[in-house]
Amino acid sequence: MKRRDFLSLAGTAGVISAAPGDRVSVAVIGVNGIGHNHIRNFVKRSDVLIATICDIDQSVAERAGQTVLKATGRTPKLEGDFRRVIEDKSIDAVVIATPHHWHVPMAIRAMQAGKDVYLEKPASHVFREGRLLVDAVRKYNRILQHGTQMRSSEVTAKAGQVLSSGLIGSVRMSKAWNCQRHKHRAPVPDTSAPSGVNYDLWLGPALPKGGFNSNRFHGNWNWYRDFGNGDIGGDGVHDLDMARWGLGVTTHPVRITAHGSRVDSTLTGEREFPDNMTVAYHYEEGKVLLYEDRAWTPYGVYGFDSVNAFYGTEGYMIFTRRGYFQVYLGAKEEKGPGMRGGNGHPEHLYNFIESVRTRKQPAANAEVAHLSCALVHLGEIGYRVGRVLRFDPKSEKFLDDREADSLLTKKYREPWGVPDPV
Instruction: Return the CATH number at 94.
Output: 3.40.50.720
Whether residue 17 is found in the same domain as residue 124:
yes
Q: Is 27 inside any structural domain? A: yes
- The answer to whether residue 421 sits within a structural domain is no
3-state secondary structure the chain: CCCHHHHCCCCCCCCCCCCHHHCEEEEEECCCCHHHHHHHHHCCCCCEEEEEEECCEHHHHHHHHHHHHHHHCCCCEEECCHHHHHHCCCCCEEEECCCHHHHHHHHHHHHHCCCEEEECCCCCCCHHHHHHHHHHHHHHCCCEEECCHHHHCHHHHHHHHHHHCCCCCCEEEEEEEEECCCCCCCCCCCECCCCCECHHHHHCCCCCCCCECHHHCCCCHHHCCCCCCHHHHHCHHHHHHHHHHHHCCCCCCCEEEEEEECCCCCCCCCCCCCCEEEEEEECCCCCEEEEEEECCCCCCECCECEEEEEEECCEEEEEECCCEEEEEECCCCEEEEEEECCCCCCHHHHHHHHHHHHCCCCCCCHHHHHHHHHHHHHHHHHHHHCCCEEEECCCCEECCCHHHHHCCCCCCCCCCCCCCCC
Per-residue pLDDT tens digits for 244-285 = 999 999 999 999 999 999 888 777 888 999 999 999 999 999
Residues 22 and 73 in one domain: yes
Tens of pLDDT, residues 321-366: 999 999 999 999 999 999 999 999 999 999 999 999 999 999 999 9
Nearest to 228, CA basis, from 362, 386, 99: 99
Claim to verify: residue 144 and residue 61 sit in the same structural domain: yes
Q: Taking all residues of the chain, what is their mean pLDDT, rounded to a whole number?
A: 93
Look at residue 201 and tell me if it is in a domain. no
Q: Is residue 415 part of a domain?
A: no
Regarding whether 358 and 259 lie in a shared domain, the answer is no
Q: Are residues 360 and 384 in the same domain?
A: no
pLDDT for residue 2: 36
Q: State which residues form the domain around 110.
A: 4-150+348-366
262 and 163 part of one domain: yes
User: Has residue 179 been placed in a domain?
Assistant: yes
* Residues 361 and 236 reside in one and the same domain: no
Residue 212: inside a domain, yes or no?
A: no
Q: Looking at the structure, do residues 357 and 390 belong to the same domain, yes or no?
A: no
178/317 same-domain check = yes
pLDDT confidence tier of residue 296, bands split at 50, 70 and 90? confident
Q: What is the pLDDT of residues 115-130, one digit of tens each?
A: 999 999 999 999 999 9
Give a yes or no: residue 199 inside a domain: no
Give me Rg for the CA atoms of the chain: 21
Q: Are 55 and 31 contacting, i.e. CB atoms less than 8 angstroms apart?
A: yes
Structural domains counted in the chain: 2
Claim to verify: residue 137 and residue 11 sit in the same structural domain:
yes
Domain check: are 289 and 402 in the same one? yes
Claim to verify: residue 82 and residue 70 sit in the same structural domain: yes
Q: What is the CATH number of the domain that holds 177?
A: 3.30.360.10
pTM of structure: 0.94
Q: Is residue 422 part of a domain?
A: no
User: pLDDT at position 21, please?
Assistant: 56
